[in-house]
């Protein structure tokens, strides 16, 4: 049985689905006004693995990851670019999908846009007003009354008193209480707006996810996920909205992946240590980036640096090298094998990918000793469950085809030099290739090479 660390209970719990054999997952997605960054990559990869693992366990998975396509940042960027909001958001949705595909992330079951669910949001807000959890301010904004929801703070562990004493909140004279948050923003000149019972306006950010999750997964679903930065106030506010409207628990399990840090500092644009996925992929193979993300437990901080990615590249190469020379057959995992059983135990224990990957290296070591084709098949099959080792080993280790042809030509010249006992020339070619990051290995079957 799989165990999940539940942020709501602050404990690791055995997963029990609401509906037998079915798992419903909602993950907060991207706000599409710019290229995705490495923090977004972590969310995409982590919950892709969660989704894949439930698949492996035989569940029918309904995985919803939303798109925020209307908010202040999007409006401001469209004005800066002199570009329509629709053009801007669609362009960055396409870029996001390209990044996700490169990282081996499967498409969600559903990927709804916020603007497609305005009516759902209006209906929820109207119910909140009727049940006296929300109110219409003098300026036409609609606010959620935080004090009206007695369990506010149960996810983050923050009490109303703590929030009043220490939290920075928006000062808005239209609010009844400084802790209240906006559900509906009254229209400003030249901004997109929709009709509502309270006048033209647009939704607040928090109500979007409450509306979309309930639309696709129902009022009560299994797992809600996202980055640790969303735990408060976004996810806290979602709970307050959804549970006030539906009179039931929103999600049974809340999963939050840890922050991405850059050289031990939190990644942020203000610190100038901000990396887009696209920038990282200019330097590193996408599978190296995925492997790097999965080497850390999803709840731990992930410390980004070129040195750590270089180390991940070398480690991933070791796994691919162990598969070299085998005709790998696509096959199901034999979970009765002791190492496969250990791999499953690791993944069932709160998706412990670092432990699972360590077992892949145990297998690789066994393959290097025994040259066993069945073990090579098992290594490939286990790795594929988390989206790794899906390439041909030679393709991964050698890379660009044109470069490969030039290297093969130099290896042939080196072979001819050795045959003619011109060892000085053979050594020169080896050194030349090594300077270019190409490592040669002389084997009984001939010389093979890989990128350093």
- For the annotated binding site, the residues are 28, 209, 234, 238, 269
Dist CA 296 CA 309 (whole Å): 12
Number of H helices, E strands in the chain: 16, 15
Comparing CA positions, the residue from 126, 99, 123 lying closest to residue 29 is: 99
Dist CA 143 CA 133 (whole Å): 9
b/e string for 338-368 if b means 16 or more Cβ within 10 A? ebbebbbebbbebbbbeebbebbeebbebbe
Cis, peptide link before residue 143, omega less than 30° from 0: no
Q: Which 3-state string (H, E, C) describes 30-60?
A: CECCCCCEHHHHHHHHHHHHHHHHHHHCCCE
Annotated binding site for Zn(2+), which residues?
28, 209, 234, 238
Cβ contact 255:42 at 8 Å: no
| Segments in 31-180 forming alpha helices (H) | 38-56, 72-81, 85-102, 118-130, 160-166
Annotated binding site for ATP, which residues?
269
Owner of token pair 């080497």: 295
What the block records as the tokens of 436 is 């270019």
Cβ contact 69:127 at 8 Å: no
Cα torsion angle, 424, 425, 430, 431, sign: positive
With DSSP H G I counted as helix, E B as strand and the rest as coil, what are the percentages for the chain, rounded to 5?
Answer: 50, 15, 35
DSSP reduced 3-state for 299? coil
């Amino acid at each position: 049985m799989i165990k999940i660390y539940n942020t709501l209970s602050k404990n690791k719990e055995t997963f029990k689905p609401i509906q037998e054999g079915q798992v419903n997952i909602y993950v907060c997605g991207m706000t599409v006004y710019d290229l995705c960054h490495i923090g977004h990559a972590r969310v995409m990869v982590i919950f892709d693995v969660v989704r894949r693992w439930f698949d492996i366990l035989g569940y029918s998975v309904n995985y919803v990851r939303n798109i925020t396509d209307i908010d202040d940042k999007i409006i401001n960027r469209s004005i800066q670019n002199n570009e329509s909001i629709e053009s801007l958001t669609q362009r960055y949705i396409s870029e996001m999908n390209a990044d996700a595909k490169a990282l081996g992330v499967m498409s969600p079951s559903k990927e709804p846009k916020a603007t497609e669910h305005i009516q759902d949001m209006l209906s929820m807000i109207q119910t909140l007003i009727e049940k006296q959890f929300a109110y219409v301010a003098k300026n036409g904004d609609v606010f959620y009354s935080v004090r009206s929801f007695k369990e506010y703070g149960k996810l983050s562990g923050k009490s109303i008193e703590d929030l009043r004493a220490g939290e920075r909140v928006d000062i808005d004279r239209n609010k009844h209480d400084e802790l209240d948050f906006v559900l509906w923003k009254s229209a400003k000149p030249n901004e997109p707006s929709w009709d509502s019972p309270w006048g033209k306006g647009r939704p607040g950010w928090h109500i979007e996810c409450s509306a979309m999750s309930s639309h696709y997964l129902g009022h009560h679903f299994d797992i809600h996920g996202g980055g640790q930065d969303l735990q408060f106030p976004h996810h806290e506010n979602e709970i307050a909205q959804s549970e006030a409207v539906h009179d039931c628990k929103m999600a049974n399990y809340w999963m939050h992946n840890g922050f991405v840090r850059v050289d031990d500092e939190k990644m942020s644009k203000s610190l100038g240590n901000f990396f887009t996925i696209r920038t990282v992929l200019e330097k590193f193979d996408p599978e190296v980036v995925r492997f790097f993300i999965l080497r850390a437990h999803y709840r731990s901080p992930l410390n980004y640096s070129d040195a750590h990615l270089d180390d991940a590249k070398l480690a991933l190469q070791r796994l691919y090298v162990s598969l070299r020379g085998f005709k790998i057959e696509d096959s199901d995992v034999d979970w009765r094998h002791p190492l496969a059983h250990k791999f499953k135990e690791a993944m069932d224990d709160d998706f412990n990918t670092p432990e699972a990957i360590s077992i892949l290296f145990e297998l690789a070591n066994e393959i290097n000793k025994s040259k066993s084709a069945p073990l090579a098949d098992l290594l490939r099959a286990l790795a594929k469950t988390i989206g790794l080792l899906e390439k041909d080993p030679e393709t991964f280790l050698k890379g660009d085809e044109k470069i490969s042809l030039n290297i093969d030509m130099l290896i042939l010249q080196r072979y001819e030099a050795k045959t003619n006992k011109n060892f000085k020339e053979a050594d020169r070619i080896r050194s030349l290739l090594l300077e270019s990051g190409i490592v040669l290995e002389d084997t009984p079957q001939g010389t093979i090479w890989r990128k350093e």
